[in-house]
Structure formats: C-alpha cells, structure tokens
C-alpha cells in the first residue's frame, strides 16, 4: 500500500466517522493483506448500527469521478464504488450491520458451523482488517477475539461439509461436471467447476488453520500462507480453469482432489468415510 492510498483511506474513514450510524471502519482486502496488484482498490468495511442514507455516502465520497461511480449497489450486500477525483484511486465501500458481523463470528468461533465454500471469510476480514475508526471500542474488542487459534471443531466441520460434495456423493460436483462434459454443456461445466473449487479451497484453508481470504487470488494466498498444499497446485488449477472443453477435464479434477485427499489423510481424516476425523 502506498502513501496516497493509505492517506485517502484515513481521510475517508474520518469523514465516515462523523456519521452517527457508523460504529467502526476497517481497511480490508489485498492492500491490507500485502497481495495487491496494479488493479487493486481500497476496500473499506463500514460497520453500522443503522443504514446510512445514500446521499450522505455520496457526500463522503465527494469529489469523485461521476462517469463510473456506482452507489447503493444491493446485489451482494450494500456497496458503493467510485474513483477519487484527485488521486484516481478506486474505492469500494462495503456496509455491514454490527449485528450481522457479530452473528458471523458467533457462527464460526462459538458454534463452529461451516458453509458450502467461503466458511470463514468474515472472520478473516475482521481478524486482518486495519482499524481506521472505532467509535466505542466495539471493533477493537471483536478484532481481539478474532485473533484466537483456529477451532479444531470448525476445521472438522468445514471438511465434513465440503469434502463429500467434491466427488464422493452420487450428486457430487465432479459427477455433475462429467455429465455436463458428455452433453457438451460447457456453461454448466464452468459453473460446476467454480463451485467445486470454492469448496476445495474452503477445505485447503481449513486444513492449514487459516481463515478463508475471500474469492480473489486464492492460488496466490495458498502459495504464500498454506504450508500444507499439493506441490503442483498452481499448474493443476491453471489447466482445469483454462479449458472447460478439455477431453481429460474430469481426470485433471480427479488429480487435483487426489492431492487434497493425500493431505487430509496425512492429517488423520478418513476420506473414504466422508472425511470424518479418525
């Protein structure tokens, strides 16, 4: 993260902090994680106790480049995005209710409940976010809670929920991909491959006791932070995603999962019995 990006993030946080609805603000994403590239923007998590009017959010962003600014995008939760007019830096503001975030932490750190892919993304964001504003200390408190060791019960739950659907079940992702390949239905092949990889990486990060970093740069995160990973992970993923019509696609995916199974077995998981812990 360069000085201009950090300065802009701080200035925006100070302006958001003047709004009564805002409880805290954190810098998240690749800039904070040290894996940014030339296309990276500033990701601000704005934690709120009630909705901020769109006009107020636009005022915080001003001055911005109007031609590509997008406010109140509701497709993936409430989000705004814009280019700062002075610096040209792209900013994304993501708005999360305090109660929702508390519920996500409770789900993974206390109840140890997995999801299908991306089980621990919010834990990762809270754990690794850089606090820029914290009105009453709420974010400081849950940020400290998020530093706890990876719960073993959560690790087992993620493997148990995501491993069988890779290829063990009769309705597994691999079975669906095989049928789609036979039909030459390559839209379906791409879709099923994407969700298979989502569960694959959910397992891989859990195996390494690492909260899931999100949907971007997963191979890069795995190479940097996952000591336990298949040795040819990048090459295998690249082959799979590069050509949905490859005649040996199913074989390639089997090789990818074989490598994951070898890691699971080395960690004491019974992959033949639904990836339960021995």
Which phi and psi angles does 169 have, rounded to 5°?
-80, 155
Give residue 54's domain range.
3-145
The enclosing domain of 25 has a CATH number of: 3.30.460.10
- Asked if 93 and 225 sit in the same domain, the reply is no
Q: Average pLDDT of each block of 10 consecutive residues along the chain (278 residues)?
A: 88 97 91 53 95 98 95 95 95 97 98 98 96 98 97 97 96 96 95 97 98 93 95 95 90 97 95 63
| Cβ 103 vs Cβ 111: under 8 Å | no
- Asked if 192 and 122 sit in the same domain, the reply is no
* Nearest partner of 258 among 243, 272, 245, judged by Cα: 272
Q: How does pLDDT run across 40-55, given as a tens digit for each residue?
A: 689 999 999 999 999 9
pLDDT value, residue 274? 56
- Asked if 59 and 27 sit in the same domain, the reply is yes
- Asked if 75 and 159 sit in the same domain, the reply is no
- Asked if 240 and 214 sit in the same domain, the reply is yes
- Asked if 187 and 134 sit in the same domain, the reply is no
- Asked if 134 and 159 sit in the same domain, the reply is no
pLDDT value, residue 43? 94
**Beta carbons within 8 Å of 43's beta carbon, 6+ residues apart:** 27, 28, 29, 30, 31, 32, 92, 94
pLDDT value, residue 29? 77
pLDDT value, residue 278? 47
């Amino acid at each position: 993260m360069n000085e201009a990006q950090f300065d802009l993030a701080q200035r925006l946080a100070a302006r958001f902090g003047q709004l009564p609805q805002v409880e805290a603000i954190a810098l998240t994403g690749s800039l904070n994680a040290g894996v940014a590239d030339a296309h990276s923007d500033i990701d601000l998590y704005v934690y709120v106790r009630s909705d901020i009017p769109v006009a107020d959010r636009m005022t915080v962003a001003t001055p911005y480049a109007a031609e590509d600014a997008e406010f109140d995008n509701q497709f993936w939760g409430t989000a705004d995005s814009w280019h700062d007019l002075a610096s040209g830096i792209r900013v994304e503001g993501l708005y999360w209710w305090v109660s929702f975030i508390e519920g996500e932490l409770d789900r993974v750190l206390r109840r140890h409940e997995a999801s299908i892919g991306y089980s621990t993304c919010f834990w990762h964001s809270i754990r690794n976010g850089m606090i820029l504003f914290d009105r009453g200390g709420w974010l400081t408190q849950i940020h400290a809670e998020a530093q706890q060791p990876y719960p073993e019960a959560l690790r087992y739950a993620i493997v148990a929920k995501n491993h069988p659907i890779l290829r063990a079940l009769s309705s597994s992702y691999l079975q669906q991909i095989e049928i789609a390949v036979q039909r030459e239905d390559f839209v379906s092949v791409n879709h099923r491959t994407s969700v298979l990889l989502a569960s694959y990486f959910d397992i891989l990060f859990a195996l390494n006791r690492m909260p899931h970093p999100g949907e971007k740069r997963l191979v890069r995160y795995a190479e940097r932070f996952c000591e336990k990973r298949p040795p040819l992970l990048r090459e295998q993923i690249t082959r799979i995603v590069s050509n949905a019509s490859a005649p040996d696609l199913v074989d390639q995916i089997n090789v990818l999962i074989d490598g994951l199974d070898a890691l699971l077995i080395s960690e004491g998981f019974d992959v033949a019995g639904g990836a339960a812990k021995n």
